[in-house]
Structure 1
Amino acid sequence: MLVSKIQTSLAYEVSSASEFFLNMLVSKKSQLILDERLHVGYVNRHGVESVIHFQKNIDAVGGRFASFTAQEGTVGVEYTARVVTNNERRPADAAIYSISRLPKKTIPCLRPSRYCESDVLSAQVQSLFRAQGDGIALVESIIDWIQDNIQYEVGCSDSTTSAWDVFEKRKGVCRDFAHMAITFCRALNIPARFCVGYIYFDEPPQDFHAIFEAYLGGRWIKFDPTRLAPPDHLVVIARGNDAKDTPFATIFGSIRTTRMRINIVQEDPYSDFRVAAGDEQQAIIGR
């Protein structure tokens, strides 16, 4: 098992009354939260400090988020958590299921979506990967192609960038790499979904990270097309068809982000402990 200690610090300048929806709380599915704390501080334009009361919510795809309203001033958000996740090596092989054999809940992960235009890129993908093996070997060949053809470049894309844009421009960041891999998988009839969370990188700075999961051999298997970190080390915040379903922050109003710091420490003290895949945590545990 892997224990991740997460510290996230955000700050915003608020120019007018704004509504915040922060999707930064770790998921309770298939991982256990040992402890967590969220604090939202506020300083008004006269310099008076107070605490903002927030609500915890669950969205349509199972993500946990905090919502609150802030007036003109500055907002500081501090989130800490210790989370236990499975840290098992994926199988050496796992087959692609025929469409008739797929669970019905995976079918939406075969369809084109806002950032993953698998229908538009279908012909190119079929041509590239027609004879590239099966299952995990095929998905790894997709990642090999992305590594060889797409440059990782911070700041080269934005919230409107799709897999088609990345295919044309040949550069992107983790979110773009994940969208590209998902698009390729869906074009090859492999269900795939977007997955975001916290993970430790050997080289700073630490940040939110996006990977993807492919449905192979009867289970969802994590892959990181950036190959920046082991995918099973990801502490999941949310999953969805693409980034449209999993925004870290949705803010209605006039704000400016002034701080985003993330620190992650990961260790493996629970080698004999397991979390059943798909289980919803029933209680906070401490060991």
Structure 2
Amino acid sequence: MVEGGSSRKMRAWRGPGGEEEARGYLQARLVVLSKVMFWNFVVLMVFLAVLYTVYADFRPADGRPGLAPRNNEIVYAISGGGLLVLAILWRGFLVRRELSMRQLEAIDAFYSIGTGVIFGTAGALTPDLRSSAYICLIYACLMVLLRASVVPSTSKRTALISVITCLPMTVATLVIGFKQDIPAGAYVGGGALICTMAILLATVGSSILYGLRRQVTAAMQLGQYTLDGKIGKGGNGAVYRARHAMLRRPTAVKLMLPDRIDVETLDRFEREVQHMSQLTHPNTVAVFDYGRSPDGVFYYAMEY
């Protein structure tokens, strides 16, 4: 469960599905994000190693041997360290432990900050490879978009984390821009434009996905009950497996189908629940609740 001192903003983006459900969902999504990031970075590092090996005899215009930049070993050491930390957080914490909401949010932010710092550092350390800064920038922007599509987050939080991710890359293009044979303003301006577009796309996409999830979660709420899945469908209603928000006991909820509501059907539905509630045989189910939701859906909850 999340700590009681969490801020109003943090509570706001958990949605109506309950704190524990939101915490579990966020942890599951961070596991997915970790897995995708880890293997993407592994593929990138292997690809670059193969590329530098294949073109070891290549002679660029500056006369240095090979395609690899001068500080390639340092870049690989930093990248390998980042990959190790990512693996520890993924396999050692997210997969094996139940983390609090604040811890999950901290890991989420750390991933973004770490991505920006590592790619920014890699770009700044390899100015002799002209395309290095833009390659790192594009990859960092892809990670921004990946996070927005995987991790549930408000638009405000996504925008903030995306800016933090892109900031080191912007600094790197600023540093490298003065070492290139093209105008620094054009070099830095192009990088800033790419970052801005990535931040806007991530923010809009995250807002849409987060809003849709809230709508789906709200649609599965019926008073104090959360509907988990349909069990069956009868003549005048559908039965869902459900959980009570406070009691956490397994429950079955029968809803009157909206397209079947008329005076006769409503009367039959009401008689059904009344008769069921009066049964005392051990082979019958107990009725827990009966009522109507704020949006007019009639239901009754029973033992499952």
Between Structure 1 and Structure 2, the one with more helix by share is 2
TM-score (norm 1): 0.20
Which structure has greater strand proportion?
1
Q: TM-score, normalised by structure 2?
A: 0.19
Larger C-alpha radius of gyration, 1 or 2? 2
